[in-house]
Structure 1
């Protein structure tokens, strides 16, 4: 039962992308190896907020907001408000299950009066729903389990110049697959860090003054995770994200921003067994032992040149997204985006749309995902975010 339950959870968490990709095979697929990057706690890679989700999972270089803790905490140093807090909720894989969801709470506070530094924090809780384990065959004895993944992090950001800031974040992660007393599986804890940077400058294009931005974030640099007491070790989803954007004024009230992100897992590819001979099995076991004992830092560097499909395979590991955001007077927002992942790496390809409404005290955002490939369990995913501006709340009581 332990193996059955673990397989079910793995199927849900891995989004069923293997089935999606294999359905699009062709003549070249026989030669090309399906080698997606495998990580522990994949929920850390789920975009938690409605704004980023509506922009095609894009947010490394967008203008600062309350949810910058996930995308790029260095943006907090350029935030306009003194403080803010946001709550987001995402029902996940609703086409497959009805009780899997991600809840995300984030906030920040700018330190001092110099407008140079800020601290941020967030709490992420990913519920894998309810799993029923039959303890005794035919006896009706059942055990209800509630597996989950969670993370708590804090960040510090500071302007290093009028146009550039950097940030570091520290994160505690816990994963509990709902193991019972009879299971070999055990919950595990991990620690990770982020390193991020953000640059923004005003540039003149034609007769308009536009805001150009650039950002990067290396997230989840940390310890490995094991559910079996250290026999099998899995990498965290360490990710390099870089992005750039341009916010252009249309007139005194209307603006439009265009943002592009590129991302890549800094995680080595797991070895693939080539054949069934004794030599093939021995070579695979040796490669897997090296993979299993590899340090996270060594794995980050190895990830740039270990694809079984060569240089082409390395390029296929790069995920891309583009987002467009229109706003009227910084009060009404309409957003759209597109996200692309190669079919050999998971085949997440979808459009996203969303809208937002801001008042002096709060902002409400929503996003909706539209898959461009068949049988994608992420299709029709909804996201909701509600943010509060502490300056606006304080002004209400003046």
Structure 2
């Protein structure tokens, strides 16, 4: 994760971003939420809840659900980076659902050369995360879920890593998560509506290292909290408004002097549990900086006759914490058991590497009532 800086009172700079490895874990994989400002924790249940909020899996209507998403990534910079995401869910019974997902990130092909520009061959770095989730419904409005996963990150090839004193290797780690989801039927403007709340704590796990006896890095442990409000305008028209708030649960680097002594903040060389709790109060810039580390996603979704959807959203990140902000938009089509979704990212900043990001998702649902309307 990139490090950014902000001003101290004396005009010097302090780090405002938390540093973590394998940031691909927190990249939005699917087109539906990708079109809604990257909000999805409290949206109605679909199979990509494996990523957003596994507790929603308990509210799936169909017995078996599968989805495949693909996105060319950072095409403004590199032509062959891409992300793929496969998600599956199976309803065990009316209250219990199992989910599994695989996220694969391909960094393209890198050409290696020595100091005299001799060709040393090529290498294709890649990372993947494999997760399994179990969701259980408690009553008709509330559910909980637990997730466990395995992470593999192979960013360097040991064949080309020599002379450093440490042998490069692929990094591996295990992680876990917990999620909850609540939805309640209400009346708004004289018509049926649903208010939903969700939260997901993910990527809690062991630190990862890329070399023997080398430094270990935090996983991007993450807290998402979201709300959504869906109103049935009439028998054919449905509108959803949603918002997510996101914070990394990773320690913020302290301010140090030229000798490496901490002058503001606290040490980030701590264990994973300490780092998670510390992440709420360790920013050198105080509470103001802690608030600046929260990103905000907002989105809306309009469905016509549960066959055609139009989506739009906005993502905001404080300028002292990276400064990304962009509009998103997309469409969705449903035919029989199949769904196709598409999203487009329109970056607000000039020359943003995220500009024109596309996401494509194809999903299918089996064993449910085809005439049931999506809630």
Q: 1:39 aligns with which of 3, 9, 20?
A: 20
TM-score (ref. length: structure 2): 0.92
| 1:86-165 mapped onto 2 (5 Å cutoff) | 86-112=67-93, 115-135=94-114, 137-138=116-117, 140-165=118-143
Q: Which has the higher strand share?
A: 2
Given the superposition, is the C-alpha separation of residues 29 and 185 from structure 1 closer, same or farther in structure 2, using an over 3 Å criterion? farther
* Structure 1: 4+ residue segments shifted above 6 A: 25-29, 392-395
Once the two structures are superposed, what CA deviation does each residue of 1:156-199 show, in whole Å capped at 9, x if it has no partner? 00011211000001010000013232413211110001100000
Classify 1:291/1:199 alpha carbon distance in 2 versus 1 (closer, same or farther; 3 Å). Answer: same
Does the 8 Å CA contact 1:356/1:365 hold for their aligned counterparts? yes
2:327 matched residue in structure 1: 351
Q: Structure 1 pair 28/257, CA: closer, same or farther in 2 (3 Å)? A: farther
Q: Residues 361 and 392 of structure 1 are in contact (CA less than 8 Å); yes or no, is this contact kept in structure 2?
A: no
Output the TM-score relative to the length of structure 1.
0.87
Does structure 2 conserve the Cα–Cα contact (< 8 Å) formed by 1:362 and 1:388? Answer: yes
8 Å CA contact 2:127–2:152 kept in 1: the answer is: yes
Offset from partner CA, 1:121-158 (integer Å, 9 cap, x none):
001100111111114624x3322111111000100000
More helix per residue: 1
How do 1:272-287 residues align onto structure 2 when only pairs under 5 Å count?
272-273=255-256, 275-276=257-258, 281-284=259-262
C-alpha separation in 2, matches of 1:141 and 1:32? 40
Say whether 1:216 aligns with 2:199.
Answer: yes
Shift of 1:42: 0.4
Counterpart of 2:214 in structure 1 is: 231
CA contact (8 A) 1:33 1:344 kept: no
Deviation at 1:394, TM superposition (A): 10
Unaligned runs of 5+ in 1: 1-12
Shift in Å at residue 36 of structure 1?
1.2
Contact (CA 8 Å) 1:210, 1:248: kept in 2 or not?
Answer: yes
Q: How does 1:180-199 map to 2 (within 5 A)?
A: 180-183=158-161, 184-199=167-182
Within the candidate set 242, 267, 270, 2:250 is matched to 267
Question: Could you tell me which residue of structure 2 aligns to residue 297 of structure 1?
Answer: 273
Partners in 2 of 1:375 and 1:383 — Cα distance?
A: 20
Distance in 2 (alpha carbons) for counterparts of 1:282 and 1:363: 54
1:29 Cα deviation from its structure 2 partner: 11
Q: Which residue of 1 aligns with 2:360?
A: 384
Q: How many angstroms apart in 1 are the aligned matches of 2:370 and 2:112?
A: 50
Contact 1:86 1:387 in 2 (8 A): yes
The offset of 1:393, in angstroms, is 11
Relative to 1, partners in 2 of residues 1:29 and 1:134: Cα closer, same or farther, differing over 3 Å?
Answer: farther
CA deviations 1:244-293 (Å, max 9, x no partner) are: 110011111000000010010000012332x32xxxx14159x99x533x
Mapped to 2, the partners of 1:360 and 1:108 lie a distance apart of 18
Q: Which whole-Å deviations, capped at 9, do the CAs of 1:326-365 have from their partners, x for residues lacking one?
A: 0011110000000111111111111100000001221000
Unaligned runs of 5+ in 2: 162-166
* Pairing 1:72–2:53 present: yes
SS in 2 for 1:344: helix
Of 225, 233, 239, the residue aligned with 1:250 is 233
CA drift of 1:204 comes to 1.3
